[in-house]
């Protein structure tokens, strides 16, 4: 099969012929239809802060995968060759108490496809267990690809703040209105009456956010950003939730500085920053949580939200041969919503 592989840290990817995977007992081979391009891939390529180092070179990236079942290992039930599937990306051991509680994506022994297991920027992907697949039925796998990480992770983060955003005088700031942040804005807009503020350094992203559900956009690089966010509800108290999809020192400081009493700060972006709170009094009752991917049930919910409410990303399509262009366009903020490699 063909695969786009990273030969060494910081290099361009190269297209190579590699052996087709064959499924062992319990495993499934998926013929990839599409695989999304995420900012995490840019970070992995450069060995930037926050992401684990790839296990070896040359490495096949790609954690946002959909396709059709190509071959089933012994003992696999519930799927037939040809079924359209989405690949849930957080592969835990399936047996520990974290997995048994439904949080396999944060299992202490988790592997991430495309990060610590070979990924889907290739013709075929070996999936270690059928439980990592979610059936797509007659949905288009190419369109479904961004749901398997950008949609899933945004939904996982949004789910953590829904309870705070049940009234129209509530507000939420989404820092980083790129691939993941745009999904968050769409889910927040569909699921809450709260005021949604998009915060981004890029003017194009801010403008776009206003067309998909944000009612206000703030330039995080402006000296006015803190004041604008504190004044969102007109009382100077700040926003009831912040979801930070960037995660560098400056965005974390901004988030910590604008959160209202009883608010929640959700950290998603893998920017390698440090969050520091000057703790002087308990009376703020702010909650801080990291958020990683989402559960398999969350992926099923995200697929339903696409079916029922049409929530998805507009995909900018690239061929596998154009993978380096896709990574460059993402790094330069040139992709409107989500880049997708179509095999
Ligand atoms: N926690 C998880 O499970 C998880 C999963 C997937 C991706 N991620 C991480 O989420 C982040 C977002 O990924 P993406 O694919 O949406 O990236 P993206 O490149 O599509 O979007 C990033 C957005 O952040 C904006 N931005 C950059 N610097 C900023 C700043 N200082 N202030 C405000 N906005 C700024 C950019 O203009 C862009 O709109 C990445 O760090 C990625 O690694 C985390």
Q: Is the CB of 241 under 6 A from ligand 1?
A: no
- Residue 309, pLDDT above cutoff 90: yes
pLDDT category at 130 given cuts 50, 70, 90 is very high
> Could you give the CA distance from residue 295 to residue 50 in angstroms, rounded to a whole number?
21
pLDDT tens digits for range 198-217 = 999 999 999 999 999 999 99
Mean pLDDT lowest among 21-25, 42-46, 269-273, 281-285: 281-285
What are the DSSP E strand ranges found in the chain? 2-6, 14-17, 28-37, 59-60, 65-72, 84-87, 90-91, 111-112, 124-127, 133-135, 171-175, 195-200, 216-219, 239-244, 259-267, 287-290, 315-319, 338-342
Name residues whose C-beta falls within 8 Å of residue 279's C-beta, 6 or more positions apart in sequence: none
Q: Is the CB of 27 under 6 A from ligand 1?
A: no
Q: Is 30 left (phi over 0), alpha (psi -120 to 50) or beta?
A: beta
Q: What ligand 1 atom has the least distance to the C-alpha of 330?
A: 19
Q: What ligand 1 atom has the least distance to the C-alpha of 182?
A: 16
pLDDT tens digits for range 137-166 = 999 999 999 999 999 999 999 999 999 999
246 CA distance to ligand 1 centroid (A)? 4
Q: Which long-range contacts (CB under 8 A, 24 or more apart) does 224-230 make?
A: 225/199, 225/254, 226/254, 226/257, 226/258, 229/173, 229/197, 229/199, 229/254, 229/258, 230/258
The Cβ of residue 336 has, within 10 Å, a number of other Cβ atoms equal to 16
Three-state secondary structure call for residue 300:
helix
- For tokens 């129209």, the residue is 168
Nearest protein CA to atom 24 of ligand 1, as residue: 176
> Could you give the CA distance from residue 336 to residue 18 in angstroms, rounded to a whole number?
32
pLDDT tens digits for range 26-37 = 999 999 999 999
Report the candidate in 300, 295, 292 with the shortest Cα–Cα distance to residue 94. Answer: 295
Q: Is 285 left (phi over 0), alpha (psi -120 to 50) or beta?
A: left
> Could you give the CA distance from residue 80 to residue 182 in angstroms, rounded to a whole number?
34
pLDDT category at 284 given cuts 50, 70, 90 is confident
Q: Is the CB of 217 under 6 A from ligand 1?
A: no
Q: 122 and 18 in contact (C-beta within 8 Å)?
A: yes
Instruction: Pick from 245, 292, 335, 339 the residue to mutate for probing ligand 1's pocket: most ligand atoms within 8 Å of its CB.
Output: 245
- Residue 333, pLDDT above cutoff 90: yes
Longest CA–CA separation in the chain, Å: 62
What are the DSSP E strand ranges found in 176-320? 195-200, 216-219, 239-244, 259-267, 287-290, 315-319
> Could you give the CA distance from residue 304 to residue 168 in angstroms, rounded to a whole number?
25
The Cβ of residue 184 has, within 10 Å, a number of other Cβ atoms equal to 31
pLDDT category at 276 given cuts 50, 70, 90 is confident
> Could you give the CA distance from residue 220 to residue 200 in angstroms, rounded to a whole number?
6
Instruction: Pick from 199, 269, 313 the residue to mutate for probing ligand 1's pocket: most ligand atoms within 8 Å of its CB.
Output: 269
Phi, psi of 78 (to 5 degrees): 95, -10
pLDDT tens digits for range 226-259 = 999 999 999 999 999 999 999 999 999 999 999 9
* DSSP H/E element including 333: none
Q: Cα separations (Å) of 296 from 66, 119, 165, 289?
A: 14, 18, 24, 20
42 CA distance to ligand 1 centroid (A)? 10
pLDDT tens digits for range 41-65 = 999 999 998 888 999 999 999 999 9
């Amino acid at each position: 099969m063909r695969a786009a592989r990273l030969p060494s840290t910081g290099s361009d990817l190269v297209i190579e012929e590699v052996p087709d995977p064959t499924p062992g007992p319990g495993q499934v081979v998926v013929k990839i239809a599409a695989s999304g391009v995420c900012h995490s891939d840019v970070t992995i390529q450069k060995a930037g802060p926050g992401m684990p180092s790839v296990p070896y070179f040359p490495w096949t990236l790609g954690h946002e995968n959909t396709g059709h079942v190509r071959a089933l290992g012994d003992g696999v039930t519930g799927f037939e060759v040809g079924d359209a599937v989405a690949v849930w990306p957080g592969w835990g051991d399936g047996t520990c108490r974290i997995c048994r509680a439904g949080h396999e994506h944060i299992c202490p022994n988790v592997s991430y496809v495309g990060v610590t297991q070979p990924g889907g920027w290739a013709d075929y992907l070996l999936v270690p267990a059928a439980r990592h697949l979610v059936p797509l039925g007659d949905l288009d796998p190419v369109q479904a690809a961004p749901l398997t990480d950008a949609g899933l992770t945004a939904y996982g983060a949004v789910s953590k703040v829904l309870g705070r955003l049940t009234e129209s005088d509530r507000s939420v700031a989404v820092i980083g209105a790129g691939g993941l942040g745009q999904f968050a804005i769409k889910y927040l807009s569909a699921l809450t009456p709260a005021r949604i503020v998009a915060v981004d350094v890029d003017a194009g992203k801010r403008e776009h956010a206003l067309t998909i559900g944000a009612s206000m956009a703030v330039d995080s690089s402006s000296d006015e950003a803190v004041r604008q966010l504190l004044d969102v509800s007109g009382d100077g108290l700040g926003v009831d939730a912040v979801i930070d999809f960037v995660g560098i020192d400056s965005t974390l400081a901004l988030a910590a500085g604008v959160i209202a009493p009883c608010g929640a700060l959700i950290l998603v972006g893998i920017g390698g920053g440090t969050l520091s709170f000057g703790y002087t009094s308990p009376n703020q009752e702010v909650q801080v949580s990291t958020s990683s991917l989402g559960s398999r049930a969350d992926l099923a919910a995200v697929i339903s939200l696409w079916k029922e409410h049409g929530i998805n990303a507009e995909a900018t399509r690239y061929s596998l041969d154009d993978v380096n262009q896709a990574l460059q366009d993402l790094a330069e903020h040139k992709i409107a919503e989500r880049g997708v490699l179509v095999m």
